[in-house]
Amino acid sequence: MPRRTVYTAQIEHLQILDENGVLDEQLAKDTLTDEQVVFLYEQMIACRALDEIAFKLQRSGRMHTYPQNKGQEACALGSGFALRKGVDFLVPCYRENAALFLHGMPMRNVLLHWAGDERGNQIPDGVHITPIAIPIGTQMLHATGVAWAFKMRKEDRVAITYFGDGATSEGDFHEAMNFATVFNVPLIFFCQNNQWAISVPREQQMASETVAQKGLAYGAQCIQVDGNDLFAVYKATTEARERARAGGGVTLIEAITYRLADHTTADDARRYREAEEVDSWKAKDPMIRTRKYLERKGLWDDAKQAETQERADAQVKQIVDEVLNYPAPHASEMFDHMYAELPDELRKQRDTMRTSSLGQNPSQAGLKAGEAVRA
């Protein structure tokens, strides 16, 4: 037979909760309970409140550039809730605030980070999260290493890494995907396809019809979900988690969502996006969809909305007050988070604020004998 088909594939799209808040009961079976949806909706409100105040802080000159999470909360919450807090590992990009908070990241850390305070990157003990990653795509390589370590140690743990559609055009994505699938590590690649890589639309940066199909070339399990649907995101991530735990390896989840705000506060999306497009996606806002579902179930009303919003605003105000009055760091803190056990040489530098080794042996830095170097 001179010609034969050696490979065929298809990508499944999953939606469980539609834009009107109507649930597919069969697909939703064994996913989220009503109590869990209420909890996650409350987290959406809190995350959106933080987004709004962060925007105002930047505009008033009290914080640097900030990327809003607005419109993508269901991606972070549905996937983050599917991972086991204190067990699994989150390797984020910079639009997964709600998932980080679920897993123990203090809200203040996000504001400190974007205010330029490195202490925002100090992950508390027991919180299994890496710092926010700004370079596009590099965190996927870190996640692959984390998952590989889990496998080598025979630990029942899974890692998830987040990135945008633009990151799949980076070499780091392909290198990480290839390594992760070859070594069959317990890793979930979670793409938040918000349609825009800053100002470049998805269809201009890739010829593939979906992001999900990119994983097929590497042998990953691949699925596309409605990223504004809490139920679909939770279900797909839960299935990917269990597959990884059972030795089934890597899953690539493409979550179709939309960035309702600018790329960052340094961007003006009106220069490249049509208002009609943005308006059409506002109707698909995961907060609106989730609230409609809860109202249909008799679990939410205007009074609960007002009460929860007031509570979220008070929580965020307290955090902002804490961040704006955060004590200035001491120079010695640069030594505190590099090593689990600080070497004697560096401990001496920290305690004396002198580069003691160079003072003792100036030739190390090409200095003349007797010249000491101060820190």
Q: Provide the annotated active-site residues.
A: 259, 263, 272
Could you report how far apart the first and last alpha carbons of the chain are, in Å?
74
Burial class (CB in 10 A: 0-12, 13-18, 19+), 306: exposed
Decide: 38 and 297 in contact? Cβ < 8 Å: no
> For the stretch 209-227, what's the b/e string if a residue is b when 16 or more beta carbons lie within 10 angstroms of its beta carbon?
ebbbbbbbebebbbbbbbb
3-class SS at 193? Answer: strand
The residue type at 231: F
Q: With contact defined as beta carbons under 8 Å apart, do 285 and 20 qualify?
A: no
CA distance 47 to 69: 8
Structure tokens at 95: 């639009």
Contact at 8 Å (CB) between 80 and 98? yes
**Residue 148 contacts residue 142 (beta carbons within 8 Å):** no
CA 95 – CA 237 distance, rounded (Å): 17
Give rounded-to-5 percent helix, strand, coil for the chain. Answer: 50, 10, 40
Q: What are the structure tokens assigned to 352, written together?
A: 């004396």
Q: Are 122 and 109 in contact (CB under 8 A)?
A: yes
- Note whether 103 and 85 are within 8 A (CB): yes
Amino acid identity of residue 364, one-letter, is: Q
